[in-house]
Amino acid sequence: MNFLNQIIQGVLLGGFYALLACGLSFMFGVMRIINLAHGSLAILAAFLLMGFCNYTNLSPFIGLLLVLPVMALLGWALQFTVLDRSLRAGPLIPVLSTFGVAVILDNSMFEVYGANSQSLGPNIGNLAYNSWNLTNTISIAQLDALVFVTAVVVLGGLQIILRYTALGRTIRATASDPAVVDLIGVNARMVYAAAAAMAMVMIGLAGAFLAMRNSFDPYAGGPQLIFAFETIVIGGLGSLWGTLVGGIVLGVAQNIGATISPHGFLIAGHLTFLVVLVARTFGGRIAWRALLPKRAAS
Amino acid sequence: MATTSYRVERWTRQSRLFAVIIALVLMVLAIGPFIFSADITDRLTTLFVYVILAAMWNAMAGYAGLVSIGNQVFIGLGGYFLIRLSDAGVSLYPAVVLAALIVGLIALPVGELMLRLRGGEFAIGMWVLAELSHFLVNLDPVIQGETGTSLTALNAYPPVAARNDTYWVGFVLMVVLLAVVFALLRGRVGAGVQAIRDDEVAAASVGVKVHAGKRIMFVLAAIGCAAAGGVWLATTISFQPGTFFGIQWTAYMLFMALVGGLGTFEGPIIGAILFFIMESWFGATGVAYLIGLGVTALAFSLFLPRGIWGSVETRLGIRLLPVGFSLRLVNPDGGRDRD
């Protein structure tokens, strides 16, 4: 029964990972950039939200109405200051420049907010600890359920936007060939900026829920980047619903690992990532099928 | 007007002169502990470690197009195997080399897997590897988790001997590793990996063995970083997994290679010296110093991606230690260079 509980909690954790990963996955799908500042940006959103809550004493959910647009603006700015220039300089430069952004963000947040662990748990009242008890040993925290539902809504919403709106079609076209869409009058840089802004809204949401579920500190971005990355690799890079599957697999593996040893949580997660990688590499299937642009935006 | 012929040259007068200067500098460094104070000797050992790390990171990123943010995995494993080997009774300095070779051996199968990843995926994949190794090393009871352990074998040496011997081991390893990189780059492998860096698909289409070239650079970097980790452990004595497997190493390596000049032989050495100087001036400011490193690395990647030396090389045409060839046009009448 305890084992079943671990799996259920792992699935719920997977919802959070899917939410955390979809910004990274989306940015990769559209711009072919692995944004190494992804985790640090989520932590930045968490600190911004904390600043808002401490200043106004309002709920973090109201704070999101302000923080998410700010994150979108930051994404827009990031595209025109860092990403655009990096993209034009070849495949290696985005890796270097986004790592530079991560180093700057982490240490600046440390300078501003100090080393203390923070949490928004106290700011959301009952939601932080209320849960539905299914049996004596299995209970589902309401916050976890909310995160899971949010992840599904965000992934589904993204799918609808990409498939049925003009913006979505433009983004998909740009993802498959930025040079060609330029020829037919689409400004690829603006499309990238819109994509970066959308990704940052998702990152902001993930950061907010991270702050409500757990504690966070200025250097917590690195592990979040790793979890997000493992999620999209396990789920198949570039596939949106694969992201949800990847998150669930990672979450379940970590929770089962945690029952085995105190370090088991992280070790099991990393090992699962490597096993998937080995299986893809030597399992006969060409992993890079998943990277083809038309699937990337579907 | 006479027909113009050309001459292909590798060693120019400039680079021959520079080779002599390098030889002199190396000779002075070789007898370093006899002429420098204890403090300078220690600090130079640190500089050797930085030069090795920068050169290895550059061998991967600058020459084989493999940007890794997890090379601390090799540093940490180098330190870990040094602890285990010296506990098992292998004498200290041979153990540094042996530990590095073991890490190189591990890197062979690991590389097979990681090299399938592209670009940013390879970068983070390496970090995952570093984190995993960190936790697995923590499971070893000898290491005592994050508390770490000490290189007790060093207690057998009188402090002066330990300082000087560590200096020499660091120096010799640096010279040997740089010489290996230099030799590799001048040969077939070097031409191959530089082609891979510039365009992998095109390189493969003209018959470059892409995978083999990347694998050589990967394993070389593993051995080099592990050796640097061993020397580092011999200078700091205590092995704390959190420090040895820390991401800060990547920030340092990236800074040194990028600022000095990715894809040049001289660049990472210059970058390491610059980093060394910056660290001694600003290291005490802690977080502000790290922000400065990040800002500088970002600025270079955006505005001067060829780094200091890369820019000097292209603008002034200087080749100090030639790993490539240069073409000179010669007018046969006057016999004078027309360039």
Helix (H, G, I), strand (E, B) or coil at A133: strand
In chain B, what percentage of residues exceed pLDDT 70? 91
Q: Which residue from A61, A56, A175, A68 is spatially nearest to A124, judged by alpha carbons?
A: A61
Average pLDDT, chain B: 84
pLDDT band, very low/low/confident/very high, at A286 (cuts 50, 70, 90)? very low
What token pair was written down for B305?
Answer: 């991606």
Q: Cβ of B333 under 8 Å from any chain A Cβ? A: no
| Across A253-278, average pLDDT | 88
Helix (H, G, I), strand (E, B) or coil at B337: strand
| Across B33-59, average pLDDT | 90
What is the predicted pLDDT for the residue at A279? Answer: 81
In chain B, what percentage of residues exceed pLDDT 90? 31
**What is the rounded end-to-end Cα distance, in angstroms, of chain B?**
16
Residue of A nearest to B129 (CA): A270
CA distance B208 to chain A (A): 20
What is the predicted pLDDT for the residue at A295? Answer: 43
What is the predicted pLDDT for the residue at A218? Answer: 92
Q: Rounded CA gap, A13 and A11, in Å?
A: 5
- 3-state SS record for A29-43: HHHCCCCCCHHHHHH
Task: Render pLDDT for A5-38 as a digit per residue (tens, 0 to 9).
Answer: 888 899 999 999 999 999 998 998 888 888 999 9
Given an 8 Å threshold on Cβ–Cβ distance, is B121 in contact with A34?
yes
Residue of A nearest to B67 (CA): A92
A270 CB neighbours in chain B (<8 A) are 128, 131-132, 135
Residue B52 and residue B173 in contact, taking contact as beta carbons nearer than 8 Å: yes
pLDDT exceeds 90 at position B52: yes
3-class SS shares of chain A: helix, strand, coil, % to 5: 80, 5, 20
Task: Render pLDDT for B75-91 as a digit per residue (tens, 0 to 9).
Answer: 999 999 999 998 888 88
Q: Rounded CA gap, A199 and A193, in Å?
A: 10
| Across A113-121, average pLDDT | 86
pLDDT exceeds 90 at position A231: yes
Q: Rounded CA gap, A48 and A50, in Å?
A: 5
Given an 8 Å threshold on Cβ–Cβ distance, is B124 in contact with A36?
yes
Task: Render pLDDT for B168-206 as a digit per residue (tens, 0 to 9).
Answer: 999 999 999 999 998 888 887 778 887 877 777 888 887
ipTM rounded to 2 decimals: 0.83
Number of continuous H segments (helices) and E segments (strands) in chain B: 16, 4
| Across A235-257, average pLDDT | 87
B297 CB neighbours in chain A (<8 A) are 96, 99-100, 103
Residue B146 and residue B138 in contact, taking contact as beta carbons nearer than 8 Å: yes
Task: Render pLDDT for A169-203 as a digit per residue (tens, 0 to 9).
Answer: 888 888 888 888 888 888 888 889 999 999 999 99
Q: Cβ of B301 under 8 Å from any chain A Cβ? A: yes
Residues 46-105 of B with CB under 8 A from A: 61, 65, 67, 69
Q: Rounded CA gap, A294 and B186, in Å?
A: 42
Residue A93 and residue B299 in contact, taking contact as beta carbons nearer than 8 Å: no
Q: Cβ of B201 under 8 Å from any chain A Cβ? A: no
Amino acid, res. B305: P
Residues 83-142 of A with CB under 8 A from B: 85-86, 89-97, 99-104, 107-108, 110-111
What is the predicted pLDDT for the residue at B331? Answer: 57
Residue B110 and residue B223 in contact, taking contact as beta carbons nearer than 8 Å: no
Residues 259-278 of B with CB under 8 A from A: 262
Dihedrals phi, psi of A140, to nearest 5 degrees: -115, 120
Q: What is the DSSP string of A169-237?
A: HHHHHHHH-HHHHHHTT--HHHHHHHHHHHHHHHHHHHHHHHHHHS-B-TTTHHHHHHHHHHHHHHH-T
CB atoms near residue B301 (< 10 Å):
28
| Domains of chain B, CATH where assigned | 5-330 (1.10.3470)
Task: Render pLDDT for B148-176 as a digit per residue (tens, 0 to 9).
Answer: 888 877 777 777 778 888 899 999 999 99
CB atoms near residue A216 (< 10 Å):
23
Residue B78 and residue B224 in contact, taking contact as beta carbons nearer than 8 Å: no
In chain A, what percentage of residues exceed pLDDT 70? 93
Task: Render pLDDT for A127-155 as a digit per residue (tens, 0 to 9).
Answer: 777 888 877 778 888 889 999 999 999 99
pLDDT band, very low/low/confident/very high, at A207 (cuts 50, 70, 90)? very high
Q: Cβ of A274 under 8 Å from any chain B Cβ? A: yes
State the burial class of residue A56 (Cβ atoms within 10 Å of its Cβ: 0-12, 13-18, 19+).
exposed
B301 CB neighbours in chain A (<8 A) are 86, 89, 93, 96-97, 100
- Contacts of residue B122, defined as CB under 8 A and 6 or more positions apart, other chains included, come to B66, B67, B68, B114, B115
Burial profile B30-56: b = 16 or more Cβ within 10 angstroms, e = fewer: eebbeebeeeebeebbbbbbbbbbbbb
What is the predicted pLDDT for the residue at B339? Answer: 44
| Helix (H) / strand (E) containing B34 | helix B32-35
